[in-house]
Amino acid sequence: MTFYGHVHFNRGSVVGAIQRSEVTRRMAEGHIIEISEEELARMYIEDKDEKNGSLHTYALHSLRELFRFRRIMHQYVRTLLYKEDVQWWTDRKQAVEEEDAEYQMAAAG
């Protein structure tokens, strides 16, 4: 069964880019995702100019990955000065936007 871990970053600019980079790095260290240092650096450069936050969704393929995701996020959020900067949750749905898009495409034809 596939679970999904969602991380919503409310801040943009450099602060948000640092937060996104740190969470991505921790996900790679926790073997949730695979990403190279070059890709991580490129993401940071693109993110630091973004004025809005973002939503990251991670596919978790086992209970072990689900528990690792939860542990990573609990530990990360504890270190934040402003806890409301990052919200996270897990569920069995990929994302509301994608489901809405699929529904609209199916209804259209």
Is the pLDDT confidence value at 91 over 70? yes
What percent of the chain is predicted at pLDDT more than 70? 85
Place of tokens 């990251």: 56
Instruction: For the beta carbon of residue 36, count every other beta carbon within 10 angstroms.
Output: 9
Q: Binning pLDDT at 50, 70 and 90, where does residue 18 land? A: very high
In this model, does residue 109 exceed pLDDT 50? no
Higher pLDDT pick, 94 / 27: 27
pLDDT tens per residue, range 43-88: 999 989 988 889 999 999 999 999 999 999 999 999 998 889 999 9
Taking CA atoms, 108 is separated from 15, 33, 61, in Å, by 41, 35, 32
> H/E element holding 43?
helix 37-47
Q: Which pTM value belongs to this model?
A: 0.79
The span from the CA of 105 to the CA of 47, in Å, is 30
Sorting pLDDT into bands at 50, 70 and 90, what band is 97?
low
pLDDT, average across residues 22-28: 95
| Single-letter code of the amino acid located at 96 | V
Please tell me the distance from the alpha carbon of residue 15 to that of residue 7, in angstroms, as a whole number: 15
Position 50 scores a pLDDT of 87
Distance CA 97, CA 83 (A): 25
Query: Tell me, what's the pLDDT at 31?
Result: 94
